[in-house]
Amino acid sequence: MEITDEILIDLYKRMVRVRLFEEEAGRLAESARLPGFLHLYVGEEAVAAGVCGALESQDQITSTHRGHGHLLAKGGDFNRMMAELMGKATGYCNGKGGSMHICDLDLAMLGANGIVGAGVPISVGAAYANKLTGNGLISVSFFGDGATNIGAFHEAANMAAALSLPMLFVCENNEYAEYSPRHKTMAITDVIERAAAYGFPGAIVDGMDCVAVFEAASLAIEKIRGGEGPMMLECKTYRFYDHVGVKGTASDYRTDEEVEEMRKRDPLVVHETRLIESGIMDADSIQAIKDDIQKEVDISVEFADQSPFPELEDMLVDVYTNGESS
């Protein structure tokens, strides 16, 4: 398939949106201005950008505890996200859900999740609804390598295959689950083998390259939309920061050298180099994109700062249909 300049620039913008927002969130967390856990997506932007860039706007996604990237790459609102991270009433969950519970139903983002693997079966249901109604949409579930060790993943994979559903499984294999390296918690090298086990195809993708992800996702999505049943992409990627926060207190579960080595493959730099070398953009136009998006990030911080915290009354609503708790 042909990848136009427009697409290449679009993919870049999606990655920058995630990166700059996340770096800002990291700084705020370091200065204790964000309550709760912050799982940063920095390093893995190519996956969310490549997949979301290949989706129709109403294709559904489910996301993870490391979910800011998925929503932002799908067009999520900086202001409402930043406000949610700060626990403010103007946030995506009115400041009641936090980083791991953000949903945006307008964008068909069915939810980030504090429970590992919990989103995968939800995507199965969305895919089934798509099939039933014949709306032509597909559903996508993002999940980590570690999530494929949990029962819910396996039930979902089998069911999606058995019912031949229009669903794309996107594994973000960053080689670690918290502080456990992948090889200690599974006896296979490639997570993709798990798709084969349930009888659907998949591909291993360079998850540090948004174009590779976009191409693989586009190919898969075309087949899935065409009624060929589920597929899986295993995106080999890496998180640059710690499991939680920026620099955590965990023991040395990975070496600084390893992180440095992977940082050389920074998905933003990889793509910037491509854009410049192919003459699509120059350093100035790249900087201009970053400046524009940074401005949006700054505005979101201001917006969140100035927003009020939710009050007791806010806490008590939206538990039942009548809006109230018992």
Helix spans in 75-118 (H): 78-85
Taking the least distance from each CB to ligand TPP, the nearer of 172 and 234 is 172
Chain positions contacting ligand TPP, by CB under 6 A: 65-66, 114-116, 144-147, 172, 174, 176-178, 243
198 forms part of the interface with another protein (CB under 8 A): no
Please choose which of Mg ion, ligand TPP, another protein, none residue 66 contacts, taking the beta carbon within 5 to 8 angstroms, the exact cut-off set by kind.
ligand TPP
- Measure the CA–CA gap between 21 and 29, rounded to whole angstroms: 12
Nearest approach in angstroms of CB 43 to another protein is: 20
Taking the least distance from each CB to another protein, the nearer of 251 and 321 is 251
Binding range to another protein, per CB under 8 A, among 35-43, 121-129, 164-172, 285-293? 35-43
Size of the site for another protein (CB under 8 A): 43
326 forms part of the interface with another protein (CB under 8 A): yes
Nearest approach in angstroms of CB 118 to Mg ion is: 15
Count Cβ atoms below 10 Å from residue 188 Cβ, excluding itself: 12
State the DSSP code for 235.
E
Selected from 133, 251, 255, 321, the binder of another protein by CB under 8 A is 251
Nearest approach in angstroms of CB 212 to ligand TPP is: 19
Phi and psi at 213, nearest 5°, equal -65, -45
Please choose which of ligand TPP, another protein, Mg ion, none residue 323 contacts, taking the beta carbon within 5 to 8 angstroms, the exact cut-off set by kind.
none
Contacts of 63 (CB under 8 A, 6+ apart): 70, 71, 109, 111, 112, 113, 119, 142
Considering only residues 113 to 152 of the shown chain, the ones binding Mg ion according to CB under 5 A are 144-146
67 forms part of the interface with Mg ion (CB under 5 A): no
Tokens of 94: 């009115």
Taking the least distance from each CB to another protein, the nearer of 118 and 270 is 118
Considering only residues 108 to 147 of the shown chain, the ones binding another protein according to CB under 8 A are 114-117, 146-147
Nearest approach in angstroms of CB 85 to another protein is: 9
Q: Is the dihedral of CA 48, 212, 188, 42 positive or negative?
A: negative
Nearest approach in angstroms of CB 238 to another protein is: 19
Query: Does residue 60 sit in helix, strand or coil?
Result: strand
Size of the site for Mg ion (CB under 5 A): 5
Nearest approach in angstroms of CB 129 to Mg ion is: 29
CA-CA distances (angstroms) from residue 86 to 27, 35, 92, 265, 301?
Answer: 12, 6, 11, 31, 9
Nearest C-alpha neighbor of 236 from the set 178, 147, 169, 173 = 173
Please say whether the beta carbons of 19 and 11 come within 8 A. Answer: no
Whole-angstrom distance between the N-terminal and C-terminal Cα of the chain?
A: 55
Selected from 7, 23, 75, 101, the binder of another protein by CB under 8 A is 101
- Measure the CA–CA gap between 286 and 236, rounded to whole angstroms: 26
Query: Does residue 108 sit in helix, strand or coil?
Result: coil
Under the rule (CB under 8 A), what is the footprint of another protein? 35-37, 86-88, 95-101, 114-117, 146-147, 149-152, 177-180, 184-186, 250-251, 253, 309-312, 314-316, 319, 325-326
